[in-house]
Structure 1
Amino acid sequence: KDSLCFPRPHPLWNLLLLLWTLLNCGLGGSAQGPGEWTPWGSWSRCSSSCGQGLSVRSRRCIRFPREERCWGDTHEYRLCQLPDCPPGAMPFRDLQCALYNGHPVLGPQKTYQWVPFYGAPAPNQCDLNCLAVGHAFYHSFGRVLDGTPCSWGSQGLCVAGRCLNAGCDGLMGSGAREDHCGRCGGTNDSCLFVQRVFRDTGAFAGYWNVTLIPEGARHIYAAHRSRNHLALIGGDGRYVLNGNGEVSPSGTYEAAGTRVVYTRAAGPEETLRAAGPTSQDLLLQVLLQEPNPGIEFEFWLPRERYGPFQEQAQALGWSLRQPQPLEGEPQSLEPQEALAAFPTRTPKPTPDPCPPCPDTRGRAHRLLHYCGSDFVFRARVLGHLRQAQETRYEVRVQLVYKNRSPLQSLEYVWAPGRCPCPPMALHREYLLAAQRLVNPDGTQDRLLLPHAGYARPWSPAEDSRVRLAARHCPV
């Protein structure tokens, strides 16, 4: 056996051979991979006294002989944001050039005044190139100090001669970005994407509700191509855009804690964008002047706000198809009542006793009703009974996708109104999403199909879509 691995009894030899054993027998006499880092030190003070600057921390690599160097960096830099510099303060790069004022640089006799120079051929943004005032030459003094802006107005800062930008985690060069939900480094799994096209049209010119944009919404977008105008109402019940029949100019508007960018092009195209997140509910309307060709809208909503949004949308009717005529002044509302009470006027009656139902197609509508319903099932309509305030359907349940309590083979499904939306035809099969409605005294326990709810002709494709929707419901 190797005697180096079995120490002799002499005390001095014991100590020497123990060390040799650790370095040779324990390490195998060859490289054993990288060493280990010490814990990170504390962050330094900010490199600047105002504006943007850098803070740095460091660590050391501990390694035995023949071990590889540690993987990673010895220094880590993060952005520190301080109050803006006062007017007239000398920029950091100017200050570094000015340090050489009056000092001989190119010879023992001549001195110059120096200011930053940005016109060097093949420039490195992090080189300290300074122009001699009153002369046609510049000189490079090496690298700028860490924390110097890469260029005038740039968000990037120089770190060890490289121009880096801060990630959403504040670390320079990390590349971390916020996802659509606003989470740094997230994967868009903490929010849901709401997207659809509003195709409803009114029987008269005026304001028509398009959609509720809930508190917490991000990446809001709405667009259309027509002579109509998008209108936006804040949580206080006042118009932000295109209210009271007056068309607002293109520009940026403040609403619900975010900036709304409204653009009306020379042609018929009109867009509305907002990064969010919104601090209050907003109501998107359209001021109709001609038939509505379709208004696209979308936004991302945190999962925890999806349930309250669904309840509000169902309370207003998911289509939010409640017009507000142009005649007269709009009623002033308290902030808490603003969105719940829209609109305050009743539309003029239309000749058709059963007006067209709103378009309820789209993934967002399917998710809204599947995730928020107590029952989702396939059924055949056997009969219906229209009454003054509701319609009762008798259905045969054929396949259950989701149920909070047992379903019978024969059930009644109740829909609000004499003209329910969506309508269901006799002897056809539908995929239904219903809610359980129990009155306070417990004498009635019914299945309710909400207005503008989910009742689509069953097909194998619809079966696949609804099974896929089940995977994306909030937990």
Structure 2
Amino acid sequence: MATRAHPVDPHLCSRRPRGAQNLRFSLWILVSCVLGGAAQGPGEWASWGSWSRCSSSCGRGVAVRSRRCVRLPGEDPCWGDSHEYRVCRLQDCPPGAASFRDLQCALYNGHPVLGTQKTYQWVPFHGAPNLCDLNCLAEGHAFYHSFGRVLDGTPCSPGTQDLCVAGRCLSAGCDGLLGSGTLEDRCGQCGGANDSCLFVQRVFRDAGAFSGYWNVTLIPEGARHIRVAHHSQNHLALQRIDGRYVLNGDAELSAPGTYEAAGTQLVYTRQGRQETLRAVGPTSQGLLLQVLLLEPNPGVHFEFWLPRERYGPFQAHAQALGWLPRPRQPQPREVEPQPAETPLVPVAIPAQAPTLAPDSCPPCPDTRGRAHRLLHYCSSDFVFQARVLDRHRQAQETRYEVRVLLIYKNRSPLRTREYVWAPGHCPCPPMAPHREYLLAARRHVSRDGTQDRLLLPHAGYTRPWTPAEDSRIRLAARRCPV
């Protein structure tokens, strides 16, 4: 961050501190006076204050806390918000109790409004465009009036979980803070980085010499974000650990729909030859996934996320099914081949391979700006800080070997070292070895399921990493739609 020189009030240099709470302020004055008044960056936030009382006496409401920006003459304002809002939950309101919005409209009953002496009885009106205005309908009349903003903690509309704060309709993140945008990761951790669980993924291609039920995998207790799919005349089947079928058991086909099993909802769809099975989880007990073979098996794709501590017991149970599933393998990012197939071997790049010549490449399009950053953050599968270790040109692609330093967003696990691929000999924007970048990448799995790679889109979001770039990308994360 650049250093900006600001004049220091000479009276400050002669002031004496009063109390320990002024220690930081005194140190700043001392350094500023000795160095001739050089000040850096924005001010700093003081500690958060305590949370206020809940805005409601029953049901859901809002509590707020604030903090003060401590800055001296010449310093920029602090970065971030001065107020935080969280949802507070009290006992349920009595049956038939008036809603919070009803009570606010009723405050104007019997009072002259609209510049006349006429009075009205007011009830909430929910057809106005701004949900967080106090829009009230005059009973018995065909007009409504807006009395300004509703009070903080008012539901945006009946039946919604969103609440109005400072005139804006906000959703609560998993941390309970309104507008934080914090979500659970694939492991179920609020604001996590998908590092407390493992991603299990495989294609079951075994085919027997007879029709009937074949074991595909055990879906263990604690599994999350389960997805199973295939495209054939065969049918998926799901069995509880006590032997009772949930789906397509005893050669009787189940109707597409939602089923309850193992403490979660399973959504089963069938359209022509395409069958899918999805569940958010977590499962409260194991489930056995099977396939009812009516024709040769083209492959059953399945995946789920599993807590690390449950992976060992899962391996032991899975061995009984005749194979040992594994989480995603080390670099390069290849899906595990079947035993009968020849393993894919990455092509060796000769040491004398020609490197990129940036001066021979045409200039890249200008992709700067907040809109471009927000677009690529929201649409990417991975956003992370990385140091480029090596760069090679392969066919019509450029391959970067990077060390992942800091993860902002990931929809599947990232390792310390990754390969990142960019289209063409002259990727835009280019990355140089031995430098650190903040980049957004997408996951791409080949149609035959043999390659699983991180791709940098052409003219995508790749920036040299700086503290300012870190602040900008964190702000983009908060504004990304859910």
TM-score after normalising by structure 1: 0.60
Deviation for aligned residue 1:268? 3.1
Quick one: which of 77, 93, 114 aligns to 2:85? Answer: 77
SS at match of 2:346: helix
Over the aligned positions, Cα root-mean-square deviation in angstroms equals 3.8
Once the two structures are superposed, residues 296-329 of structure 1 have per-residue CA deviations (whole angstroms, 9 ceiling, x without a partner) of 211122233222222221133228xxxxxxxxxx
The alpha-carbon distance between structure 1 residues 133 and 33, as it changes in their structure 2 partners (threshold 3 A), is same
Report the CA distance shift for 1:92/1:237 in structure 2 as closer, same or farther (over 3 A): farther
Contact 2:69 2:77 in 1 (8 A): yes
Q: What is the 5 A alignment of 1:398-417?
A: none
How far apart are 1:25 and its partner, in Å? 3.4
The answer for the alignment partner of 2:66 in structure 1 is 58
Count of aligned pairs: 329
Match status 1:311 vs 2:316:
yes
Q: Name 2:160's counterpart in structure 1.
A: 154
Residues 366 and 454 in structure 1, CA contact (< 8 A), matched pair in contact too: no
1:272 maps to 277
- Residues 1:88 and 2:96 are matched in the alignment: yes
**Structure 2 residue corresponding to 1:190, chosen from 193, 196, 205:** 196
1:115 aligns with 2:120: no
Cα 1:86–1:207 shift into 2, 3 Å: farther
Specify whether residues 84 and 26 from structure 1 end up closer, same or farther in structure 2 by C-alpha distance, changes over 3 A only: farther
DSSP 3-state at the match of 2:152 = coil
Give structure 2 stretches of 5+ with no counterpart: 1-9, 15-25, 350-401, 403-413, 417-482
User: In 2, are the aligned partners of 1:210 and 1:284 still within 8 Å (CA)?
Assistant: yes
Tell me the equivalent position of 1:244.
Answer: 250
Query: Shift of the alpha carbon at 1:219?
Result: 0.7
1:168 aligns with 2:174: yes
Q: Which has the larger radius of gyration?
A: 1
State the 1:207 CA deviation.
Answer: 2.2
Q: Aligned to 1:461, what secondary structure does the other structure show?
A: coil
* Change over 3 Å in CA distance of 1:299–1:5 after alignment to 2: closer
Task: Check the 8 A contact 2:101/2:134 in 1, yes or no.
Answer: yes
Q: What residue in structure 1 maps to residue 140 of structure 2? A: 134
Partner residue in 1 for 2:214: 208
> Which of 223, 231, 239 is the aligned partner of 1:225?
231
Unaligned stretches of 5+ in structure 1?
8-17, 320-363, 372-432, 434-451
State the shift of 1:273 in Å. Answer: 0.7
1:59 maps to amino acid: R
**Residue 211 of structure 1, CA deviation:** 0.8
Check whether the contact 1:127–1:161 (CA below 8 A) recurs between aligned residues: yes
Q: Deviations over 1:103-160 (max 9, x none)?
A: 222245311122222333xx22211111112212111110111111222333321111
Distance 1:458 1:167 in 2: 44
- Kindly provide the amino acid, as one letter, of the partner of residue 223 in structure 1: A
Show the counterpart of 2:109.
101
In structure 2, C-alpha distance between the alignment counterparts of 1:199 and 1:23, rounded to whole Å:
70
Structure 1 residue 295 and structure 2 residue 300: aligned?
Answer: yes
Q: Which residue of 2 aligns with 1:282?
A: 287
Could you say which residue in structure 1 is the equivalent of 2:48?
Answer: 40
Shift in Å, 1:31: 6.4
Tell me the CA shift for residue 68 of structure 1. 4.3
Please say if residues 13 and 33 of structure 2, whose CA atoms lie closer than 8 Å, have aligned partners that are also in contact: no
Contact between 1:31 and 1:68, CA under 8 Å: does it hold in 2? no
Shift of 1:33: 4.9
Matches of 2:121 and 2:142 in 1, distance apart? 13
Moved more, 452-461 or 253-262: 452-461
Shift of 1:36: 3.8
- Residue by residue, what CA displacement relative to the aligned partner does 1:412-467 show, whole Å, maximum 9, x if unpaired? xxxxxxxxxxxxxxxxxxxxx9xxxxxxxxxxxxxxxxxx9968646743999xxx
Shift of 1:215: 1.6
User: Structure 1 pair 127/233, CA: closer, same or farther in 2 (3 Å)?
Assistant: same
TM-score normalised by the chain length of structure 2: 0.59
Q: Superposed, which structure 2 residues align to 1:321-332 within 5 Å?
A: none
Contact 1:198 1:296 in 2 (8 A): yes
Q: Check conservation: 1:129, 1:141, Cα contact below 8 A.
A: yes
How many Å apart are 1:56 and its aligned residue?
1.3
